[in-house]
Amino acid sequence: MTKFDYSEIKSSIKDNQIRSNKIKIRKYILIILLLFVSLNIYTYFSEYKRYVVNTPDRLQEAREEFTKAYMFHFVLNSMGENCPSGSLVYEKILEIKKETNNVNYIK
Confidence of residue 95 (pLDDT cuts 50, 70, 90): confident
CA distance 68 to 71: 5
Confidence check: pLDDT of 98 > 90: no
CA distance 105 to 47: 33
CA distance 94 to 84: 12
pLDDT of 64 reads 73
Selected residue with higher pLDDT from 51 and 71: 51
CA distance 36 to 42: 10
pLDDT of 27 reads 94
What's the whole-model pTM score? 0.42
What's the average model confidence in pLDDT over 58-82? 67
Confidence check: pLDDT of 107 > 50: no
Domain-wise residue ranges, the chain: 9-101
Selected residue with higher pLDDT from 103 and 25: 25
16-41: burial string, b at 16+ Cβ within 10 Å, e else: eeeeeeeeeeeeeeeeeeeeeeeeee
Q: 10 Å Cβ neighbour count for 13?
A: 10
pLDDT tens digits for range 3-59: 666 666 667 777 788 888 899 999 999 999 999 999 999 999 888 888 777 776 667
